[in-house]
Amino acid sequence: MLSLRPHFVYLGAALLFFSSVDGTLADPKVWREQGPGPTLFEANTAVPPNSPATGAVNAIAPSLADPDLLYVGTVNGGVWKTTNATADSPTWIPLTDKHVPALSINSLAISPVHSDTLFAGTGSTSSLAFEGSPGFGVLRSTNGGKSWTVLASSTFTGRRITSIVPTGLSGGNVVLAASLFDRVGTSDHGGVYRSTDKGQFFVRVSGNGTSGLPDAGVASLVTDPKNARRFYAGVPSRFGENANAGIYRSDDGGVTWAAVNTGLTGHTNSFRILLSVHHSRSANVVYAAIISNSTFTVTGVFRSTDQGGSWTAMGVPTPDIFPGAQGDIHGTILAHPADPNVVFIAGDRQNGPFPNVNGCRNFNANIFRGDAGQLPGDPWQSVVCNGANGTAPHADSRAMAFDATGNLLHADDGGLDQLLDPDNEAGMRRWVAVNGNLRTIELHSVAYDPLSNIVFGGAQDNGAAVQTASGEVTWTQLLGGDGGNVAVDSDQTAHPGTTIRYTSSQFFGNFNRTMWNAANNRIGGPSPVQLRITSGSGTGLTLFQFDGNIQFFQPFVLNAIDPRRMLIGTANIYESVDRGDTLANLGFTGFFIGDTLGSSPLAHGGRLDGAPHPDVF
């Protein structure tokens, strides 16, 4: 039968190699991790040395006593722990690999009663169209992450848990959770859930007729560190579905709630409402950020000094912190733990042309520090690029937290960084990497170069990257942005001693060929693939000029018999016999080839009873 031999399996957030060079299976009991983690010279990160980045981190749980003890929850790589977070390159260990049904972590928190007890809310918020698990329950560990129990799966399967809030009530038995999104396949709108048995079972509080909460999702659920019975919930309107949108407060441990919206604006047209409570016990300050339904940008930041009884507008940072309009999943707000006047807010990315007004030279993170003491003047100051001695973390902010020493931790689509001396612009305020060997990159395409025994791939928001050496988990970025699909031509008859690797960015941008030798040294290129249509519809034009159906991660495949030949699938199928420089348009299929998100369901060339058949596809 005609066949192509698979060479790789992608598992979680790490690439695992399982085949020998000739395609025969190696010992199936032996798996050797190939990374990546970290990726060096990441273009959207301006943190020395070598701008290390990894995959998306969505939740941070720092120890309140030990700045070196830190847990993170990653978008599609599980929960990780480090005990030397302040080291130049922290050592991370995965806690959930092989122990839980999936590795999509949305929220994470340490119990205020038992420091070894952790809770994780599951469900993917991947920037790659939420690829990953839609949620399978609450994870609980009572031994610092050594083992885990899956709880409340009947309630939360198919639901992304945006907030998980263990409390000190009833000796730690009361746990609250929140979900913004509808349960997959149902009309259940999410909201606040409450457990009285340490997370074993949860009861939905929202929309129950007595709680005061509407039948709607909750974007942010936070506790008041000054009062263990007080909580705040941000209930957005989400495209006008909820006429009772706004901020709600509970003073009885999450059982009943009341709206506290006096002075707020924009909440009736909100997709998310983000909340944070000042940590000290000498003030009652709450901060809120409203993210618009229509623009997915922040329309207002507000401050309350009376538990939400009234709100004062702080305006919004300028320039816009959401120029990418990605406030649907990115963005976070954090009150200062010591200064009740200060709040930090982060968006998606910087905007060009570069260098821009913030002094950034690439699509770095967009983070501001607000000081209510500066009102009625402009309270906002950028804390990246010019505001942080030329340093900046990766774009697409997801979470912030302060460590035990008062430094600011920032999680994003490039991993985890730390802002040292966050309140002192004239001092040593700068961003440093905390990624260490954290390996959480979301690879959607990989290829293996058998000449050099090197793996390379395309990753969500971490570009196209290549191993620095055979078996090494540290990789180097070749192209920035979102890395496209990859392939390798290893034909040693046509070009002995060298291989040809194909890489690109999103929407087939920078689609190119590079030539490499057995020592993994690039010896030629990059040479842009020309993609000129020479027969069929579109003759005389390039693929970009003719075809409006180029996908975000564009599918293509090399011929298994003659790798000079290539198939490209949009909603048309194209064939090339000269490495993609010229294309024959074989016709319109009426459907996208693949799912636009990285899959390449194309096969070109095969063998029948050992005989080559390069023309089959």
* In contact, 429 and 444? CB cutoff 8 Å: no
HSE, side-chain direction, 13 A CA sphere, residue 5: 12
What lies within 8 Å, CB to CB, of 209 at 6+ separation is none
Sheet strand arrangement including 332-335: 332-335, 342-346, 367-371, 380-382
Residue 600: per-residue pLDDT: 83
Alpha carbon 409 to its chain's center: 16
Residue 28: per-residue pLDDT: 67
Residue 7: per-residue pLDDT: 30
Cα-atom radius of gyration of the chain, to the nearest Å?
A: 25
Rounded to 5 degrees, φ, ψ at 93 are: -125, 140
Q: What is the SS3 assignment for 333?
A: strand
Q: Residue 257 and residue 178: Cα distance in Å, rounded? A: 14
What lies within 8 Å, CB to CB, of 365 at 6+ separation is 346, 347, 349, 350, 384, 392, 393, 394, 395, 396, 397, 410, 412
Count other Cβ atoms within 10 Å, centred on residue 403.
Answer: 22
Residue 529 DSSP code = -
Nearest to 513 by CA among 293, 352, 522: 522
Nearest to 361 by CA among 371, 369, 351, 374: 351
Residue 27: per-residue pLDDT: 66
Q: What angle do CA 190, 196, 202 make, to 5 degrees?
A: 25
The CATH architecture to which 39-433 belongs is 7 Propeller (2.130)
Average pLDDT by stretches of 10, the chain with 617 residues:
32 47 57 93 93 96 96 98 97 96 97 97 94 96 98 95 97 97 77 98 96 97 94 94 94 98 97 93 89 96 96 97 96 96 98 97 97 97 96 98 96 97 89 96 96 96 96 95 96 97 97 98 97 98 97 96 97 98 96 84 95 95
Residue 6: per-residue pLDDT: 31
Strand partners, 527: 513
Would you kindly state where each structural domain of the chain is located, as residue ranges? 39-433
State the pTM of this model. Answer: 0.93
